[in-house]
Structure 1
């Protein structure tokens, strides 16, 4: 705690151990009513959904996806770890039960904060009967920028599909590179196509797994594509800046997103260039995860929302 909060007077906050309702919490407080760092783990489905709604009320790429072996991401407030609970089975609607662990407070971008999240997740998995495998404690701080490798070096990884994808020519004249922040076990997988010359992302691809992912994607469509109907928000779709594909994976929803923003002032792909890349990404992800009922967007391109 002292490494995360070097200038604070540490005061223990109220601890919660409510196994019956699937909740654990501990905190370090500034005073009697305000915490400076709080870590919480929850497995009750409605509590898990509430946390996911707070973090992803709309399907935007997380600020940072954690390294391989740690299924989580940097959320709006701090580290978030999302694990399946094999010992708890599925709920009445056939959805997997999950364990969500969050850290909130100051200095939550540091490696100690992520170690705290992992330690809590491991303890909560045992105490709340989740049954998830222990996660490895990260040894080093997270890099400030994702390392990128040439396309040929991505072969055999979760982003190896880019080596054979119909990529447009790089307009900067530099090579294409790819950042590979996740493995196949992450709740949100990710591949970023980078301009090897400027080291900036040109297109981002992410796979979202679980029934909780439908709602933020529907919100994304509703607020960023002006001419959609309610039915449109529930299916695959291609807009001028991003596209959505869908599948069923292990009995639950999966959503695939590709995004590129050529109107942002940086290099980007047109929707016609991005669409076949979304298809290639979704097909590769579906194969890796054993998904069925893959649905790709039609050739119709929906206009983007005007500022």
Structure 2
């Protein structure tokens, strides 16, 4: 018998007869519908919970003055050794710029890699697997520097949950984000959850994360420019590109790589990344892919800073400094055109 059937029946027994022996099942049933003020769809919560596990508790707090909100839900199962249970989901929302800058720094850490969320959602998935969304807050006006206020929401889904079910993790994240907007007086337009797509447990695992494709398949994407980038054919049997792009997100990336063929024992590549918002001025642009060669550029987009960078690793034949700079120019110019930016400047 499926867990939700058992839980529903048991909950009815508890509520009707007061049987203390079934209290954990009743607690699970109630938390599935009421945790985080009922912001998460009950069926989505049920699908996240591992088999033979029950929801255990919830902790939430909010402060409109400080512009912050948090809610966390835990569960208990056979694999859970901790007395206080394992984390099912946790969400943290911030409307203050200082808090947002701190969270962006944590999200990118010393590596600037990320995975795009489903199209239509304004965010990305960082290396921890958190779904990070950035929304405008029309009801909060502007900050002291005259910039429109925004809300940053990070939703973390437990590593041992059943997040592979299509759309489940997104439904939970969107529900929590829409609720946080109301709680903090943001006034953001409610997001709609995609019905497909699973959030990877390990965003950068070769089997779990996004896949690179031949350059010919980049047409029509944010990385279409690579098809005419003039990459040398002698480097390998063929270059590939990993498209990590979502125009609604505050960051986009195109990763080029080549290996095999004539140089079967060698591997090389380049990562082109764009960050949108004044928060990106605090990034060091170091550590990405371990590459020692970096080229950067800046622009202004929607009244805030935009930063562009190329990190290269390996020694691809025919790709010298001049070639890397030429490709960064093509990437940055394409991004500026697509995002309506101005004032593009290169640091080389």
* Paired residues for 1:125-274 under 5 Å: 125-128=181-184, 129-142=186-199, 144-172=208-236, 174-195=237-258, 202-216=269-283, 219-220=284-285, 240-262=292-314, 269-274=319-324
Q: Structure 2 regions of 5+ residues with no counterpart?
A: 1-44, 76-81, 201-207, 262-266
Question: Greater Rg, structure 1 or structure 2?
Answer: 2
Single out whichever of 113-122 and 100-109 deviates more from structure 2: 100-109
Describe the shift of the 1:34–1:53 C-alpha distance in structure 2 as closer, same or farther (beyond 3 A): farther
Q: How big is the shift at 1:120?
A: 1.3
Q: Distance in 1 between matches of 2:307 and 2:118?
A: 21
Single out whichever of 206-215 and 251-260 deviates more from structure 2: 251-260
Q: Distance in 1 between matches of 2:252 and 2:56?
A: 37
Q: Distance in 2 between matches of 1:64 and 1:162?
A: 19
Alpha-carbon contact 2:213-2:242 (below 8 Å) kept: yes
Describe the shift of the 1:182–1:63 C-alpha distance in structure 2 as closer, same or farther (beyond 3 A): closer
Q: Distance in 1 between matches of 2:74 and 2:199?
A: 26
Q: How big is the shift at 1:102?
A: 1.6
Any idea what SS the aligned residue of 1:260 has?
strand
RMSD of the alignment, in Å?
3.3
Q: Structure 1 regions of 5+ residues with no counterpart?
A: 225-238, 299-307
Q: How big is the shift at 1:284?
A: 1.0
Match of 2:29 in 1: none
Any idea what SS the aligned residue of 2:91 has?
strand
Of 37, 45, 48, which aligns to 1:4? Answer: 48
Q: Distance in 1 between matches of 2:112 and 2:195?
A: 22
Any idea what SS the aligned residue of 1:189 has?
strand
Single out whichever of 30-39 and 4-13 deviates more from structure 2: 30-39
Match of 1:27 in 2: 72
Describe the shift of the 1:170–1:240 C-alpha distance in structure 2 as closer, same or farther (beyond 3 A): farther
Q: Distance in 2 between matches of 1:268 and 1:99?
A: 45
Alpha-carbon contact 1:40-1:103 (below 8 Å) kept: yes
Match of 1:291 in 2: 341
Q: Distance in 2 between matches of 1:57 and 1:176?
A: 28
* Paired residues for 1:16-55 under 5 Å: 16-29=61-74, 36=87, 37-55=89-107
Any idea what SS the aligned residue of 1:103 has?
strand
Match of 1:301 in 2: none
Match of 1:79 in 2: 130
TM-score (norm: length of structure 2): 0.68
Q: Distance in 2 between matches of 1:287 and 1:33?
A: 51
Match of 2:16 in 1: none
Match of 1:104 in 2: 156
Q: Distance in 2 between matches of 1:34 and 1:142?
A: 22
TM-score (norm: length of structure 1): 0.76
